[in-house]
A and B are shown apart, each in its own frame.
With several copies, the nearest count.
Chain A
């Protein structure tokens, strides 16, 4: 019983409470519901479990074993060893929510710093400490638009991932918000701004725009978008690649009321897509409508600086059925990791890394252009570290299969969602992709695509 310290003291403890056996403590369960012996295996030793995991995990192929080129919110990014060392301190990971601020000073300050750095990066004023992932964060953002504006429609571009759309639908089901799609421009892959303008009405609670968008394209019509926002009474929710903000203008400068993004890139592992980190930040005027927990700086009895959770009247534990969100356990440890990550990077590091990712994306695009069997649908457009690729001869699915047989995992196939674009897949690269990886991809495509 290596985890149960009271095996020896059991009798004494039972005696103290006037019971004979542990079974006595379960007498209140009606006999008919008392379980037969549970059908689970015998406990295993650490040695056996390590062997077991060694074997079973060898059936996985990690990025180290086999490079992948999937685009999307989640990508392989470098995590500095100091980030890993710090968030693996049990002082952080084995704590609960900082309900007693006097005993949780460390976590609260770390989270305050997270909020501060996310706000610097996005140009916003307030940032809750980390929601589940980018998709559910979009859901929360939409719900927030409804709360703020009391209006009934939320507009999203057609070219948003189907996962986001599906999660959004589930998140907005309860608040009676209708999600409407506006088209993208098939000539350049960007959202069709006039199509969008047509959809805007007095019912529009919010609009969602991504930059770079789901095709990896950077929209350069920021002034237009800003004017659109200014002349209308809705909230503009922007989805960004947080890393790209090292170089690209923050959404605060083109009209955003709310910024959301996937925080995995900021010092967190991919973990097969979970756990992730939903980053959200807003203008200060909306702070009382935000979902999730927020840390405030205050003072203690001696007037020394101290931190605690604040704006709690939005929270489920106080507001119950009228709270801004049901979220309780969130992704706090990942927010800590991102705080450490951003502190290590600093302005200089982040700018360098953003440029590097631009360079990788550019290099990938250039390399793919040379492959005769594929084409780049929106080749002329600016892009960050992702490129949409069209296979001219084979199905994208078959191409991926052949790539796999050659030790490469190809791009994220979008054909099903966007049949109008043909056999397309979204390829992505980061600072983790070496020249050799790209070369191997290109050579293999040349051979098999």
Chain B
């Protein structure tokens, strides 16, 4: 290997350095030698060194605060600074999960209020904030379904979902012990005939996101719900795409029985590079007894809040405690900031998406697989670029990096070849959208070589992911031993 941009921290630090001052306390008793650690190869560095190291690294990381980040399905919207400020207060951060309820009334009230708001937004009846992310919410939702059917003494073994479903959907279904039946889409939407064939008395749940992962509203949702319910199955709402509907329509009204939300998407909590998130589950009344414990209860005229455990039908726990409060507080703060204007936000998100789609497709290089009004996101195919120039979606994505903007999600959903999945969100300005569209159009005109060589202006050039997978090199220890071998 040639040149490191930033050396690894073990090169910066050393075994005898530390960036903290701590008292040199003696062990109060003799630890048997058998228990004692012999060596600990953990280099440390001084505070200035550590700060510089990770500051430099942070600067080599693209983020929302720097520019558009239009990953489809991910709702990368701007995260209000107020949320950060509040979630970092000691009265949020420094609370132990076992504290007496009387000493956490503030957070419980926030949690309770957020649950009510989420029920209002989704049109559901009961809610839990326990799941730590969307996928864990899915698992909870499916475990609830399972418990529900077990309680009915009618075990069912299958979960149906469209082939455009997000990977976590089938993965969660398997984790909950279900067999997964994928239903091929038709013109980018659920194939009602296919659905009718797939859904049987053995189907526990049909999982759907609406707008779907192509950004299209499932217009036949009423019929879908009818089909699913007619077989006694439950309809599950993957709420990752709620940003396209919020305030305009409610999954609960459409017939969904269970819904998970992603507070780190729709409700503006930052993604943290992949967490922490929060994936609340909302359900209709008849499923509420199965929700995980504890549940927040409000009672009495004095408005006391408590964590209740006495729900014998509950599926139990899915997380050590009650949810990711840092995220919950940020989402609640977001909802206070936006209030009933979340409808405007969704409207603007949809307008932004349609406008951007229009601007990008103007040139003709990028093809809309299913021409229709989209909701908060849309999918375009680069197949024309592939045919005419041998250029793939991946190359387009990498070339975008050279223009200083983040590429969309690519190659998902799987059903569209060479696809770009673009979700600008409502917090992008027209200026940014125009710029993004122009870059995409310009890229399409560039010669194939330029695109295949991209990116050239990023900290590192095109990264060799194949080599990474073939010879996994996963720690500095391995690096050191390999380098030693080579010598």
A167 CA / B105 CA spacing, docked (Å) = 26
> Any chain A CB within 8 A of the CB of B194?
no
What are 15 A-to-B residue pairs whose CB atoms are below 8 Å? A1-B341, A32-B222, A35-B250, A38-B343, A40-B340, A46-B337, A92-B61, A93-B63, A113-B9, A115-B475, A273-B97, A294-B472, A310-B474, A316-B167, A355-B25
Q: Does A148 contact B (CB under 8 A)?
A: no
Which of B26, B273, B341 meets A333, CB within 8 Å? B273
Contacts of A312 in B (CB 8 A): 469
In the complex the two chains form, what is the Cα distance from A270 to B56 in whole Å?
Answer: 28
B36 in contact with A57 (CB, 8 Å): no
Chain B residues with Cβ under 8 A from A40's Cβ?
A: 117, 120-121, 335, 339-340, 342
**Contact size range, A:** 35 or more
In the complex the two chains form, is A170's CB within 8 Å of B325's CB?
Answer: no
Check: A189 CB closer than 8 A to any chain B CB: no
Query: Would you give the shortest CB distance from B451 to chain A, in whole angstroms?
Result: 14
CB contact under 8 A between A3 and B427, given known A88-B88, A106-B59: yes
Residues of B within 8 Å of A367, CB to CB, are none
Q: Does A272 contact B46, Cβ atoms closer than 8 Å?
A: no
- Nearest B residue to A431, CB-CB: B22
Q: Which of B88, B93, B273, B479 contacts A332 (CB 8 A)?
A: B273
By the criterion CB–CB under 8 Å, are A136 and B271 in contact?
Answer: no
Residues of B within 8 A of A304 (CB): 1-5, 460-461
Bound form: Cα–Cα A113–B56 in Å: 14
| Interface presence of A372 (CB below 8 A) | no
Cβ contact within 8 Å between B340 and A41: yes
Q: How many chain B residues have a CB neighbour from A under 8 Å?
A: 213
A150 within 8 A of B: no
Q: How far is the CB of B271 from chain A (nearest CB, A)?
A: 5
Q: B74 and A96: CB pair below 8 A?
A: yes
Are A167 and B340 in contact (CB-based, < 8 A)? no
Q: Please, what's the 1-or-0 string for A247-275, where 1 marks a CB less than 8 Å from any CB in chain B?
A: 11110000000000010000001111111
A26-56 at interface with B (beta carbon < 8 Å):
26-30, 32-35, 37-47, 49-50, 52-53, 56
Say whether A125 contacts B474, CB under 8 Å. yes
- Cα distance A39–B120 when bound, in Å? 7
Pairwise interchain contact A101-B460, C-beta atoms closer than 8 A:
yes
Q: Is the CB of A274 within 8 A of B325?
A: yes
B154 at the binding interface (Cβ < 8 Å): no
> Per-residue CB proximity of B257-288 to A under 8 Å, as 1/0?
00000101000001111111111000000000
A208 at the interface (CB under 8 A from B): no
Q: A91 vs B22: C-alpha distance in the bound complex, in angstroms?
A: 29
Chain A, Cβ-Cβ closest to B341: A43
How far, in whole Å, are A359 and B26 apart by their CA atoms in the complex? Answer: 7
Q: A43-B338, A247-B27, A308-B468 are in contact. Are A346 and B430 (CB under 8 A)?
A: no
Whether, in the assembled complex, B133 has its beta carbon less than 8 Å from a beta carbon of chain A, the answer is: yes
* Contact indicator B74/A102 (Cβ below 8 Å): no
Asked whether B42 is an interface residue with its Cβ less than 8 Å from the other chain, the reply is yes
In the bound complex, what is the Cα–Cα distance between A49 and B276 (angstroms)? 23
A9 within 8 A of B: yes
Which of A5, A295, A342 is packed against the most chain B CB atoms within 10 Å? A5
B275 lies within 8 A of A308 (CB): no
How far is it, in angstroms, between the C-alpha of A218 and the C-alpha of B184 when the chains are bound? 55
Residues A60 and B105 in contact, CB atoms below 8 Å apart: yes
Question: Is B308 located at the chain interface by the 8 A CB criterion?
Answer: no
Complex interface bits, B1-19 against A, C-beta within 8 A gives 1, otherwise 0? 1111110111001111111
Task: Tell me the residues in window 1-36 of chain A with beta carbons closer than 8 Å to chain B beta carbons.
Answer: 1-10, 12-14, 16-17, 19, 22, 24-30, 32-35
Q: Is the CB of A86 within 8 A of B54?
A: yes
Contact of B21 among A33, A46, A171 (CB under 8 A): A46
On whether A303 and B168 interact (CB within 8 A), knowing A25-B350, A86-B55, A222-B35, the answer reads: no
Q: Are A340 and B336 in contact (CB under 8 A)?
A: no
| In-complex Cβ contact of B167 among A170, A298, A320 (8 A) | A320
Inter-subunit contact B327/A43 (CB<8 Å): no
CB atoms of A105 and B316 under 8 A apart? no
Interface check B351, CB cutoff 8 A: yes
- Given known pairs A349-B44, A355-B26, A409-B99, the reply for A329 and B271 (CB within 8 Å) is yes
Question: Which of the segments A77-85, A196-204, A228-236 contacts the partner chain?
Answer: A77-85
Query: Taking A62-B91, A249-B37, A274-B325 as contacts, is the C-beta distance between A25 and B429 under 8 angstroms?
Result: no
Residues of B near A166 (CB, < 8 A) are: 316-317
4 new A-B contacts, CB < 8 A, other than A29-B248, A103-B401, A116-B476, are A5-B45, A40-B339, A132-B319, A409-B100
Residues in A with CB closer than 8 Å to B26 are 355, 359
Known: A26-B248, A345-B19. A330 touches B133 (CB 8 A): yes
